[in-house]
Amino acid sequence: MQKSVLAVALLACAAAFATQAADTSAVVVSQGTAKITLDDVDAYVHRVPAKERAAFIAKPDRIEAMLRNMLLDKQLAAEARELGLEKDPIVQRQIQLAVDNALSRVRVEALGRGLKAPDFTEQSREDYLVNKDKYRDPEIHDVKHILIGTKSRTEAEAQALANETLEKLKKDPSSFDALVASLSDDESKSNNHGLMENAASQQFVRPFAEAAEKLTKPGELSGVVKTQFGFHILQLVNYKPAVQKTYEQVAESIRTRMTNEWTEAQVRGHLDALRNQAMQPNPEELAKLPERFGKVTLAPEQAVKPGEAK
């Protein structure tokens, strides 16, 4: 698909924008009478949670969609003002609700920023000692495999061919790649040539992963491994043993996680305290709400029949 003019411009100018001091009043893009400034973009993007903003704004296509939506909003809002629609009392209340929503959002952000978290050094050290397995790089088993499938042959035929192939490989392990190309039924082999990285991980079916996990010497062959896909033969390509990270290597990330969890808990507690304040309903006004915007006409099958509980 051909890129739009705006997307091409964004790609071409990205590096230059990154090195220039920003003039927030500068017009980023215009359309008709509508103009979007960097101030407008800042306000729009700041509606996204801070930790998600970089990812949100990372793709030119997403930036283009954002700017097109903002331009449309600007043009429609200008038309609404020309028609005097902003003078409607309901519209004025909607504008006030939008203001309340924006202030609510920035209050939550300011609440988090204003908290001073305790020092989690001791807790982070304890977490490391108690949960050392969480802070280690796992073993890596990269394998190549040959799949003898059962779509075009019976299970007995597939197993016999897998056993025959394994015997050939034991005599000549160097023929593995050639047999992947000529024999394997794995449809992905045209792209990966049979390579399965980190094959002992949970993303692979258990029998396959368990077979990969037993291989520790490059060139080593597995036995014939049965899965729901057929019969596999694995050959280890690369092995990295598990490495325990030191406390010093992970201390900062643990403290950061604990600080974030503490901050989120404090903010959540503040919000819960506000939510849990006693409500003071006005029963007379509440009773009017269901009919305020018109009666709902029920379909015959939804109506309460005589004798049924209401």
Is residue 9 in some structural domain?
Answer: yes
Number of Cβ within 10 Å of residue 161's Cβ equals: 18
Buried b (16+ CB within 10 A) or exposed e, 256-272: eebbeeebeeeeeeeee
φ/ψ of 303, rounded to 5, equals -70, 150
Q: Burial level of 16, CB count in 10 A (0-12/13-18/19+)?
A: exposed
Is residue 93 in some structural domain?
Answer: no
Q: What is the CATH number of the domain that holds 188?
A: 3.10.50.40
φ/ψ of 246, rounded to 5, equals -80, 160
Is residue 102 in some structural domain?
Answer: no
Is residue 38 in some structural domain?
Answer: yes
Q: Of 208, 241, 274, which marks where a domain is finished?
A: 241
* Helix 247-275 / helix 89-113 crossing angle, nearest 10 deg: 140
What's the structural domain count of the chain? Answer: 2
Is residue 248 in some structural domain?
Answer: no
Domain co-membership, 53 together with 146: no
Q: What is the pLDDT along the chain (310 residues), one digit of tens a residue?
A: 445 655 545 544 444 444 455 677 889 999 999 999 999 999 999 988 888 888 888 888 999 999 999 999 999 999 999 999 999 999 999 999 999 999 999 999 999 999 999 999 999 999 999 999 999 999 999 999 999 999 999 999 999 999 999 999 999 999 999 999 999 999 999 999 999 999 999 999 999 999 999 999 999 999 999 999 999 999 999 999 999 999 999 999 999 999 999 999 999 999 999 999 999 999 999 998 888 887 766 666 665 555 555 4
Is residue 260 in some structural domain?
Answer: no
Q: Of 83, 101, 125, which marks where a domain is finished?
A: 83
Domain co-membership, 155 together with 226: yes
User: Which pTM value belongs to this model?
Assistant: 0.65
pLDDT for residue 308: 58
pLDDT for residue 298: 65
The CA dihedral of 254, 260, 264, 265, to the nearest 10 degrees, is: 40
Tokens encoding 117: 């978290």
Q: Burial level of 168, CB count in 10 A (0-12/13-18/19+)?
A: middle
Domain co-membership, 71 together with 143: no
Domain co-membership, 233 together with 162: yes
Residue 293, CA distances (Å) to 121, 232, 299 in order: 58, 66, 18
Tokens encoding 26: 């500068």
Domain co-membership, 234 together with 149: yes
Q: Of 241, 266, 298, which marks where a domain is finished?
A: 241
Strand order across the 221-227 sheet? 195-196, 140-148, 230-240, 221-227
Is residue 13 in some structural domain?
Answer: yes
Is residue 228 in some structural domain?
Answer: yes
Query: What range defines the domain where residue 57 resides?
Result: 5-83
